[in-house]
Amino acid sequence: MTELVVQIFRFGFLLLLWLFIFAAFRVVRADLFGGRPGRVAAVPPRSATPKKRGARGPKSLVVTAGPLSGTKITLGDQPILIGRADDSTLVLTDDFASSRHARLTNRGGQWYVEDLGSTNGTYLDQQRVQGPLLVAPGQPIRIGQTALELRS
């Protein structure tokens, strides 16, 4: 074994290790900044009705308060079910929430919130939701301890 080979092994292997880390960081970076869809539970658009989604209209639903605070759901065309039931899009563990509490629906690029007959009600701003109501981005939706809002 010549000294040169030993040195090549020595530094070559460290280089290899760090290359692995850079490759891994590229994936982390793509997750953080990359515009790729689906990094956070995306609700994919229905292929049957391919609608062009313009720049307008909210893109995501963000939980701003409550136990799930920070959770972000990327919006597609499908309705978002909120409640304690396991099959809800956003599963709440809140004694003040009903198992099927509220639903957000997309109609022509605009989102409507609808209360599904919950016990304690859904509030948009300060107003209790009776029928479907149009939700503007940034308007807080309150369900028990959880607050949500649409972001564009």
Partner 1 sequence: MAGPVTDPRGPGATTPTRRGTEAALLAFAVLITVVAQAIVDLTVTGSLRPEMATFSAWITVLWVVAHLVVRRWASYADPLLLPAVALLVGLGLTVIHRLDLASERAGEVAREDAPVQLVWATLGVTLFVAVLVVVRDHRTLSRFAYTLALLGIALLALPAVLPASISEVNGAKIWIRVAGFSIQPGEFAKICLVVFFAAYLVDKRDVLALASKKVAGLELPRGRDLGPVLLAWILSILVLVFERDLGSSLLLFGIFVVMLYVATERASWLFIGLALFAGGAMIAYQIFAHVQARVDTWLDPSAYYDGAGYQLMQSLFGLGTGGLFGAGLGGGRPDQVPVAKSDFIAAAVGEELGLFGLVAVIVVYLILVERGLRTSLVVRDAFGKLLAAGLAFAIAWQVFVVLGGVTGLLPLTGLTTPFLAYGGSSLVANFVLVALLVRISDAARRPATPHAPSMRLGDAPTEVVTP
List interacting residues with partner 1 (CB under 8 A): 1, 6-7, 9-11, 13-14, 16-21, 23-25, 27-28, 31, 36-48, 50, 67-68, 70-73, 78-81, 86-87, 89-91, 93, 95, 98-101, 105, 107, 112, 114, 116-119, 132
Instruction: CB nearer to partner 1: give 26 or 125.
Output: 26
SS (H, E, C) 81-142: EEECCCCCCEECCCCCCCCCCEEEEEECCEEEEEECCCCCCCEECCEECCCCEEECCCCCEE
Smallest distance from partner 1 to CB 150, Å: 16
CB 62 within 8 A of CB 151: yes
Smallest distance from partner 1 to CB 63, Å: 9
Instruction: CB nearer to partner 1: give 64 or 99.
Output: 99
Smallest distance from partner 1 to CB 27, Å: 6
Residue 5 is inside which H or E element, if any?
helix 3-32
Question: From residue 68, how far is each of 61, 89, 91, 109, 148 by CA, in Å?
Answer: 12, 13, 9, 26, 10
Instruction: CB nearer to partner 1: give 11 or 152.
Output: 11
Instruction: CB nearer to partner 1: give 39 or 59.
Output: 39
In single-letter form, the type of residue at position 127 comes to Q
Smallest distance from partner 1 to CB 97, Å: 8
DSSP class of residue 70? T
Instruction: CB nearer to partner 1: give 18 or 138.
Output: 18
Smallest distance from partner 1 to CB 75, Å: 10
Q: What is the largest CA-CA distance in the chain?
A: 82
